[in-house]
Amino acid sequence: MKYSSEVENMCPLAKGAYHGPAPIPQEGKWTQAKEITDISGLTHGIGWCAPQQGGCKLTLNVKEGVIQEALVETIGCSGMTHSAAMAAEILIGKTILEALNTDLVCDAINTAMRELFLQIVYGRTQTAFSEDGLPIGAGLEDLGKGLRSQVGTTYATSKKGPRYLELAEGYITKIAVDENDEIIGYKFVHLGKMMEMIAKGTDANEALEKASGQYGRVDDAVKLIDPRHE
């Protein structure tokens, strides 16, 4: 350690009381975090790339400073999906400090990592007040049946109005319309459920029927339209 001559010539004074860092809430405890290994928690966050053409939702489950579980969801840019594939391999097993200073291939994923790092080290995790946090595997619960991201895709023009393409229930096959041409419901297919049934040997047409449903006043509709072609 090198000191300037000005500092060397100063007389030493006592520092006084040391109270340590302010405690943060994490996994049902109040922790004075001094090392990366003091940090635990599960949390979610979003990031975006510089041109803002795509976004990433990142979920991390951190135990004693190490990322044990990562869920990477991207939207808006085809290249980001491949970046997510690489980021999933990169993130697990790293400390959050390592991950913060690692190229996660896509700026949106890097930004999400930055935002999550801030949440985690400041004690703003989703599990801040959950005793012992959540087990590894909890991130999958965000995806639901069939392990598919919760996606909402809608489109509209001033001339032709709105089109629902995919919502929480699934892929929209028909939009229900009343006599005023207003949307009053829709029919959908839950693709995750359908693919699970097909993988278990169910005939594709039967699986399609079983995974189909409707929402709203579909039975009162004057007509049903295909949102992609009508």
Q: Residues 147-161: pLDDT tens digits?
A: 888 889 999 999 999
Short-list 123, 106, 100, CA closest to 57: 106
**Distance (Å, whole) CA 162 – CA 59:** 31
Cβ-based neighbour number of residue 181 at 10 Å: 10
Return the DSSP state at 34. -
pLDDT at residue number 38? 96
| pLDDT per position as a tens digit, 117-148 | 999 999 999 999 999 999 999 988 888 778 88
Q: Could you tell me if 149 and 176 are in contact, meaning their C-beta atoms sit under 8 angstroms apart?
A: no
| pLDDT per position as a tens digit, 29-67 | 999 999 999 999 999 999 999 888 899 999 999 999 999
Q: Could you tell me if 193 and 211 are in contact, meaning their C-beta atoms sit under 8 angstroms apart?
A: yes
pLDDT at residue number 78? 87
**Distance (Å, whole) CA 172 – CA 178:** 17
| CA separation, residue 140 to residues 31, 149, 163 (Å) | 27, 10, 29
| pLDDT per position as a tens digit, 170-220 | 999 999 999 999 999 999 999 999 999 999 999 999 999 999 999 999 999
Phi, psi of 179 (to 5 degrees): -65, -15
Instruction: Specify the pTM.
Output: 0.86
